[in-house]
Amino acid sequence: MAFGRFSDDGREFLITDVRTPSPWINYLENGRYFATISANGGGISYDRSPLHGRITRYRINDVPPDRPGKYIYVKDRDSGEVWSLTWQPVGREPASAYRAAHGFGYTRAEAEVEGIASSVVFLVPPEDDREIWKAVLTNRTKRPRRLAVVGYVELALGHALVDLINQCDDQHFNRAHFEKGLDAVFATKTYWVTETRGTQHQENKEWDRWAFFTVNRPVAAYETVRERFIGPFRNEANPIALESGLSSKDMDCGNAVAALEVDLELGPGESADVIFSLGVIAKPDFERTKGEIVRKYRDPASVEAALGRVREGWDRFLGHARAATPDPEADIFLNFWIPYQAKVAFDVGRVASFYYWGIGRGFGYRDTAQDTIAIVIADPERARARVGLLARQMRRDGKVYHHFYGDGEGEFTEHCDDPLWFILAVTEYIKETGDHGLLAAKEPFLDGGEGTILEHLMAVVRFAGANLGAHGLPKFGRGDWNDTLDYIGGKDGGESVWGAMFYAAMLGRLTELLDVAKAGGQGVEARALRDRLVEALEKHAWDGDWYIRAFGEAGRKIGSKENAAGRIFVNTQSWAVIAGLPDRARLVRAMDSLAEHLDTPYGPKICAPAFREIDPKIGLITRCVRGKKENGAVFCHPAAWVIQAECLLGRGDRAFAYFRKMLPGRIAQETFCAEPYVYSQYITSDEHETAGKASHSWQTGTAAWMYRVGYDDILGLRPSYQGLVVDPVIPAAWKGFKAERVFRGARYLVEVENPDGVARGVVSIHVDGRPVEGPIAPRPAGSVCRVSVKMGKAA
């Protein structure tokens, strides 16, 4: 049973049955204004921060889920029939009268109910801090129809957590009023808590925004208070205002909403548009700018033009890397949905989704660093700005905030990996752009003073060097990439084997950069440290068939064949390869063990067998039910590293088999549950009865890594300091493929032929017809070049 599929060109996901097993959402955003929207109209809206600038409410953990949202009700003023233009919240049967489509930066909801056909497009224009809901209603009956159309949102107005935990007091500061001349409701809160966790200290502030909700037709009636709109013992499915009328009263106190009714008369076959707009206006400019802002986007042509700009923006972004492989399904993801998700995750900062409520945590340091490697291809300026932001979360000793809320506020934890991710972001930025000037750019340290990016990198090296334990491996602290290995080693403090591989990989990247930047002298310490880590790993971490995961208390091994649970972990096999450990026989054995013990029809598991007993000297992972999350699920993000490692070993068939298996949508939609067009954080493994069920969709680093691994390692178009490397690792059965990659201002049109059916091995490269020595395509004279690549056995 399927709820949806891709359009033929792959650019839209069409939801043909809106009764999806979980809310299937999309993001509408311009980097400042954010809205989520499900196929059923549910979702949130916020201005810049989902914590501090929450515009609308979304009831978390409620039944039914996915409420409220961006709702348009219709009432037939003759028959009294009421429905909504998305299936929910009214839920009129049959649901089959409804359809939805998610595209890049827009969502469309279509219906035909009571002879009225409707199509609503939801979008956020690139240049304005608002969302637009453009509805077209068509009378498909032979009689004239009199309709009331009511747009409705429930407002949070500021701090989302305070709204949740202190509503009883907070509601006394909500203000909402209607302005007739503008056909708009304006709402704000005259009190604003800005501290992250809320506070007892009463800040002397008001929310710095006015929210507005407006429509392009004369308003017949309006509402500002939820209780008056919904009525007692009711909910969004059957609001009393749709029966007895909207009160047209400003807010006195309570839960703020904005509801606007317009009345339409439609002759047979006639259509009319109704355009609602929800947005924010900065307070200092409010009186001066409100008229112009509110009246913008009142005619359909201006909305169409905005939609055109949304499409152009996405075409530009997605046009930086293109693939035409023998696998059309993979192409849809490589061309569109993987980079789309990666960009959204970068913009959203992984904090807000159906699963993440945008109230609990700030930007993760490691998450943000990883998100940057996807954005840098098409948007190097924003990547550079993120590198600066990451640098500003660092102390002079190299320690960084584990998560942060922007400049100045964050939380230190004892994770051993966080600072090293900075190296990943910096090196990928410079490889992509050739902008070595970044190293000399200055950024402040959290504990005073400033330093160049190079000095920040060297601080990271000092952090790494100072954080080693008894076996010469990183002290585990409260976790590494895996946040749930948080109490390894009890009081002793265990050591992270993955951490050592990760340190080695990052230090290797850094020394390569320093050599290229002719700052090799600075790299002496980093190189020596890397060598020591590699030596320690080879001496202590090999378990016979794979690498162990950690040392716990008194030298106890975790992730070893000595253990009953958690015998083998995925990351210490893939990263052994990524870190470039020297013993190829061990690497091959490790990856084969991974395939043997961890791979499943749903993808490779994070570890196996899952823990069944709580072990306070390992941590949270053992407290989690088995087969889910870090306790033995198919965690999607590390699967990307498995693919990368197989590519590094040159095993193209295996690499692509993993890549293909991990594509969202490979599992039956009813089982998978989450959106089949984006990656989820994890897929439940065969150790749980809901095997195959995915959760935590959208906000995962999987997309960023799959984007890079797909293009860099499988298609093999990889940025290096010297230029674009061409080194595909593909299924041997592929006769070839085509790809495009924009790199340092030039578009490389790549055509690969593989007549001998090899998985790896380039025998010749021609650029614009001229042969090239070595694997690097030189920088072309023009802005476009043709790269012809022949793979074969002679290599």
Annotated catalytic sites, by residue? 483
Site size toward ligand GLC (CB under 6 A) is 10
Three-class secondary structure of residue 589 per DSSP = helix
Residue 639 contacts residue 702 (beta carbons within 8 Å): yes
Task: List the end-to-end C-alpha distance of the chain, in Å, as a whole number.
Answer: 47
Half-sphere exposure of 220 (CA within 13 A, CB side): 11
With CB under 6 A as the contact rule, which of the stretches 30-38, 141-149, 323-331, 477-485 interacts with ligand GLC? 477-485
Q: Is the four-CA dihedral 620, 626, 628, 633 of positive or negative sign? A: positive
- Residue nearest ligand GLC (C-beta atom): 483
- In whole angstroms, what is the distance from residue 511 CA to residue 506 CA? 9
Closest CA to 450 of 396, 401, 383, 407: 396
- Distance in Å, CB of 483 to ligand GLC, minimum: 4
Interacting residues with ligand GLC between 685 and 724 (CB under 6 A): 700
Asked if residue 154 binds ligand GLC (CB under 6 A), the reply is no
Half-sphere exposure of 428 (CA within 13 A, CB side): 28
With CB under 6 A as the contact rule, which of the stretches 52-60, 244-252, 363-371, 766-774 interacts with ligand GLC? 363-371
Q: Is the four-CA dihedral 605, 609, 611, 616 of positive or negative sign? A: negative
Query: Closest CB to ligand GLC among 162 and 369?
Result: 369
With CB under 6 A as the contact rule, which of the stretches 235-243, 482-490, 514-522, 660-668 interacts with ligand GLC? 482-490
- In whole angstroms, what is the distance from residue 215 CA to residue 298 CA? 7
Closest CA to 598 of 562, 559, 625: 559
Asked if residue 559 binds ligand GLC (CB under 6 A), the reply is no
Closest CA to 221 of 152, 156, 120, 291: 152
Cis peptide preceding 94, ω within 30 of 0: yes
Residues 6+ apart with CB under 8 A from 686: 600, 601, 602, 627
- Distance in Å, CB of 630 to ligand GLC, minimum: 5
- What does the angle CA 363 – CA 367 – CA 372 come to, to the nearest 5 degrees? 100
- Distance in Å, CB of 27 to ligand GLC, minimum: 18
Beta-bridged to residue 788, according to DSSP, are 751, 766
Beta-bridged to residue 154, according to DSSP, are 257
- Distance in Å, CB of 788 to ligand GLC, minimum: 40
Asked if residue 482 binds ligand GLC (CB under 6 A), the reply is yes
Q: How many residues comprise the chain?
A: 795
- As given in the structure block, the two tokens for residue 195 are 């501290």
Asked if residue 630 binds ligand GLC (CB under 6 A), the reply is yes
Q: For ligand GLC, which residue of 34, 346, 481, 487 counts as binding (CB under 6 A)? A: 481
- Distance in Å, CB of 362 to ligand GLC, minimum: 12
- Distance in Å, CB of 670 to ligand GLC, minimum: 25
Residues 6+ apart with CB under 8 A from 388: 441, 443
Q: Is 673 exposed, middle or buried (0-12, 13-18, 19+ CB in 10 A)?
A: buried
Query: Closest CB to ligand GLC among 86 and 681?
Result: 681
Q: For ligand GLC, which residue of 54, 366, 392, 586 counts as binding (CB under 6 A)? A: 366
- In whole angstroms, what is the distance from residue 102 CA to residue 106 CA? 6
Q: For ligand GLC, which residue of 66, 367, 418, 727 counts as binding (CB under 6 A)? A: 367
Query: Closest CB to ligand GLC among 328 and 360?
Result: 360
- Antiparallel, parallel or unpaired: β 98-103 and 13-15: antiparallel
Query: Closest CB to ligand GLC among 481 and 748?
Result: 481
Closest CA to 706 of 659, 657, 750, 760: 659
Q: Binding marks (x or -) toward ligand GLC, 670..689, rule CB under 6 A? A: -----------x--------
C-alpha gyration radius of the chain: 28
Query: Closest CB to ligand GLC among 366 and 626?
Result: 366
- Distance in Å, CB of 224 to ligand GLC, minimum: 39
- In whole angstroms, what is the distance from residue 573 CA to residue 592 CA? 9
Asked if residue 364 binds ligand GLC (CB under 6 A), the reply is yes
Residues 6+ apart with CB under 8 A from 345: 371, 374, 698, 699, 700, 701, 703, 704
- In whole angstroms, what is the distance from residue 584 CA to residue 782 CA? 41
Query: Closest CB to ligand GLC among 170 and 371?
Result: 371
- In whole angstroms, what is the distance from residue 572 CA to residue 496 CA? 10
- Distance in Å, CB of 94 to ligand GLC, minimum: 39
Query: Closest CB to ligand GLC among 325 and 685?
Result: 685
Residue 550's alpha-carbon distances to 415, 495, 529, 610, 622, in angstroms, are: 14, 6, 19, 16, 15
- In whole angstroms, what is the distance from residue 558 CA to residue 568 CA? 8
Helices (H), 476-604: 497-516, 524-540, 571-578, 584-598
- Distance in Å, CB of 707 to ligand GLC, minimum: 17
With CB under 6 A as the contact rule, which of the stretches 364-372, 520-528, 654-662, 734-742 interacts with ligand GLC? 364-372
Asked if residue 566 binds ligand GLC (CB under 6 A), the reply is no
- As given in the structure block, the two tokens for residue 609 are 């067998």
With CB under 6 A as the contact rule, which of the stretches 46-54, 262-270, 479-487, 765-773 interacts with ligand GLC? 479-487
- Distance in Å, CB of 267 to ligand GLC, minimum: 55
Query: Closest CB to ligand GLC among 34 and 421?
Result: 421
Query: Closest CB to ligand GLC among 131 and 630?
Result: 630
Q: For ligand GLC, which residue of 154, 483, 495, 687 counts as binding (CB under 6 A)? A: 483
With CB under 6 A as the contact rule, which of the stretches 144-152, 222-230, 322-330, 362-370 interacts with ligand GLC? 362-370
Interacting residues with ligand GLC between 156 and 195 (CB under 6 A): none
Interacting residues with ligand GLC between 517 and 536 (CB under 6 A): none
Contact residues toward ligand GLC (CB under 6 A) are 364, 366-367, 481-484, 630, 681, 700
